[in-house]
Amino acid sequence: MDTKLAVLIDGDNIPSAYIKEMLEEIAKYGNPTIKRIYGDWTKPHLNKWKNVLLENAVNPIQQYGYTQGKNATDSAMIIDAMDILYSDKVDGFCLVSSDSDFTKLATRLREAGKNVIGIGEKKTPEPFIVACDKFIYIEILKNKTKEIENGQVSSKNKTDKKEDVDNITPKVIKLIANTISDVADEDGWAFLGDVGSLLQKKQPNFDSRNFGFQKLTPMINSIPDFEIESRENQNNKFKLIYVRNKE
């Protein structure tokens, strides 16, 4: 059964240009049965959103800014999220914003047993990022769109590009190495799926695409500190990937 998601978008805080890419990304994690965007639609800066809402079946919620300098959109979105939570119609939430004001909301939804995915720009404050189960940067989706527009999409792994490997800092390598050790067997080998899951729990914004790789396997394969082994799976046609730290 599909995981049902409520997608709540802060229209004042997110650019409209990548709504289609955002929804395609969200679809990887579940079925967005509720899609709402919040803002004062009488304001001219939201005009760009109006053109894409019908195309993507996103329901605009009007929220007037009653007080100068105050963001009423946040309050409306938080109230709606709690109403949806108590209705028990969804299994998780996707909060689309770069605003730290939603940190407490993300924490509360997770306390209620709901999965919370955050989407925002790289300027998003750390407290909101770590309050989510997973956090995805819009910049990843921007880069993907540019590659498609420029005809640069390729099935070839990016492991031969030195600039991608240079983006992987010693801090990231240490995080991966420690995670491998945490789930490794007595011989030091760890199932890559377990490594990826634990990395996500440790650092919700960890994503191989931030470093120029579409998948975790080619990313780890590009780092000399690790070795990868492909094993046959008797019950499935797909091979299992294991990784360990080099001594």
Instruction: Report d(CA 25, CA 56) in Å as an integer.
Output: 13
Residue listed under structure tokens 């955002």: 22
Q: Which residues contact 27 (CB under 8 A, 6 or more apart)?
A: none
Name which of 44-48, 72-76, 155-159, 211-215 the model is least confident about.
Answer: 155-159
User: 3-class SS at 191?
Assistant: strand
Equal fold, 4-147 vs 154-245: no
Maximum C-alpha span of the chain = 64
| 115-140 residue pLDDT tens | 999 999 999 999 999 999 999 999 98
Q: Quick one: pLDDT band at residue 45, thresholds 50, 70, 90?
A: confident
Average pLDDT over residues 184-195: 94
134 dihedral zone (left: phi>0; alpha: psi -120 to 50; beta): beta
Average pLDDT over residues 13-18: 85
User: 3-class SS at 20?
Assistant: helix
Beta bridge partners of 61: 38
Share of the chain above pLDDT 90, in %: 62
Instruction: Report d(CA 192, CA 60) in Å as an integer.
Output: 41
Q: Quick one: pLDDT band at residue 15, thresholds 50, 70, 90?
A: confident
Q: 187 vs 105, 181, 190, 191, 198, CA distance in Å?
A: 42, 10, 9, 12, 19
Say if CB 176 and CB 226 are below 8 A apart.
yes
Domain ranges of the chain: 4-147, 154-245
154-245 in CATH: which number?
3.30.420.610
Instruction: Report d(CA 62, CA 39) in Å as an integer.
Output: 6
Measured in degrees and rounded to the nearest 5, phi and psi for residue 39 equal 175, 170
Indicate whether 223 pLDDT > 70: yes
pLDDT for the residue numbered 48: 85
Q: Quick one: pLDDT band at residue 143, thresholds 50, 70, 90?
A: low
4-147 in CATH: which number?
3.40.50.1010
| 29-41 residue pLDDT tens | 999 999 999 988 8
Residue listed under structure tokens 């240490």: 174
